[in-house]
Each structure stands twice: as structure tokens, then as C-alpha cells.
A and B are shown apart, each in its own frame.
Chain A
Amino acid sequence: KAGVTQTPRYLIKTRGQQVTLSCSPISGHRSVSWYQQTPGQGLQFLFEYFSETQRNKGNFPGRFSGRQFSNSRSEMNVSTLELGDSALYLCASSPDTDTQYFGPGTRLTVL
């Protein structure tokens, strides 16, 4: 089976812009979770989607949002980008068991 894929792998934006990141889960996995990874804060949970519904949410502002499509693919959106949003954004999929499998991430740089 192909692993979790994320696009794009690298992205450069400027403050105030918005960005959309995409994640394709492992075939058959219905749960998709998003994480933000920074050197200072480590890996932090953003949200989880299951069957097109947000099932869980971390402690991030409303500028961070996501959605999941009927084919389980997921997107996350960050509006009004801030310098502090520069991070590696990781997507993980799960067949609705506890184990999550991560993609390679999207490296977002905000200038």
C-alpha cells in the first residue's frame, strides 16, 4: 500500500496570506489527523477528521481549519498567516485504531 502523501512538500508564503495543505491517507484509512511541528513547541495536535467530520480538536486558533472529503483525503487551511506559523505540518492516517501513520510533512515558511 502507498503511504500517506502530502502536498506540497515545501511552501513559502508571506504574512497575511492564507495557505491550503493537502493530505491523502493510506487507502482504507478513514481517520486523518493533523499536527504542527516546531523546534520550540514540538509536535502539537491540530485536529482529527473521521468520515468527513471533525472528531477532535487541539488548542489552536480559529485561523487553523480543516476538512475531509468523501474519499478520506483531507485539507487544512491557515488564514492570515503569521511568522509563528512557520512549521512542519504533518498529516497522519489511521484505520480507526490507535496507531497513526505519518506522511512526510509540508514545510511551511512564512516571511
Chain B
Amino acid sequence: GESVGLHLPTLSVQEGDNSIINCAYSNSASDYFIWYKQESGKGPQFIIDIRSNMDKRQGQRVTVLLNKTVKHLSLQIAATQPGDSAVYFCAENTADKLIFGTGTRLQVFP
């Protein structure tokens, strides 16, 4: 069936370093992808999205890369800060349904 997965369940980075969170998706027909950030006790918060006709999109301190050939998505966070500590989910939008990956916990230490 359709699935979206993540390579690493936990990522620990030092404050100020760049973070890269990866995601693999299985539905090659998906044409829209989203990254969400979820802090403890809160709902997922939209970070950045990308459509399948693009391979890169930049936001404020975040960049999403899409490689359709290998069905891979990544989220890059520049100059990681303590406030970036959270669980990050990738999601693909297929037929108006969001299919989420299992999530990666990002831990930022001083």
C-alpha cells in the first residue's frame, strides 16, 4: 500500500549546525509534499511544501529537496536552534489524503 517513511527516528545536532531530515515515499503519483513540525502537546505545524514539478524550494532557514527519481524528500534546517527541537513529519498528498511518515525527532544540544 501507500506509505511514507523516514530513515532516522532520532537526529541529534549541535546548536548552530545544519540539520537534514530524510523521507522516502512510495507513491510515484503523489504530486505534493509537505513537511510538518510537531512540538510536544501541540498539533503539527506547517513548515514548507513542494510540488512534484519542482526539485527544490527554500523558506526561512529551511529548504526542501525532492528527488522524484528515487522518491526521496529531505528537509534541511540551517543554523539549527533549540526551538527547532520537535518531531518532524513528511507527508504526501494523494487524492486529497495526507499520508504521513513515522516522524523524526530532532534534538538540539548546546
Q: A residues touching B (Cβ–Cβ < 8 Å)?
A: 4, 33, 35, 42-45, 48, 55-56, 58, 90, 92, 98-105
A45 to B97, Cβ gap below 8 A? yes
When distances are taken between beta carbons in the complex, the residues of chain B under 8 Å from A33 are: 98
A101 to B46, Cβ gap below 8 A? yes
Report how far A85 CA is from B21 CA in the complex, Å. 30
Contact of B49 among A44, A99, A102 (CB under 8 A): A99
Q: B residues touching A (Cβ–Cβ < 8 Å)?
A: 32, 34, 36, 41-46, 49, 89, 91, 93, 95-103
Contact of B44 among A44, A56, A98, A102 (CB under 8 A): A102
Smallest CB gap from A50: residue in B: B96
Known: A92-B44, A98-B93. 10 other contacts (CB 8 A): A35-B98, A42-B102, A42-B103, A43-B89, A48-B97, A55-B96, A56-B95, A56-B97, A100-B34, A102-B44
A-B residue pair count with CB separations less than 8 angstroms? 50
Smallest CB gap from B45: residue in A: A102
When distances are taken between beta carbons in the complex, the residues of chain B under 8 Å from A102 are: 36, 43-46
22 A–B pairs (Cβ distance < 8 Å), ordered by A: A4-B43, A42-B101, A42-B103, A43-B89, A43-B98, A45-B97, A45-B98, A48-B96, A48-B97, A56-B95, A56-B96, A56-B97, A58-B97, A90-B44, A92-B43, A92-B44, A92-B98, A98-B32, A99-B49, A100-B98, A104-B41, A104-B43
Among B46, B95, B98, B99, max chain A CB count under 10 A is at: B98
A42 to B100, Cβ gap below 8 A? yes
Interface of B is mostly: strand
Instruction: List 8 A-B pairs, minimum CB-CB distance, nearest first.
Output: A102-B43, A43-B100, A98-B32, A102-B44, A98-B93, A104-B43, A45-B97, A105-B43
Report how far A44 CA is from B1 CA in the complex, Å. 14
Smallest CB gap from B36: residue in A: A102
Report how far A58 CA is from B49 CA in the complex, Å. 23
Among B32, B44, B89, max chain A CB count under 10 A is at: B44
CB distance from A74 to the nearest CB of B (A): 15
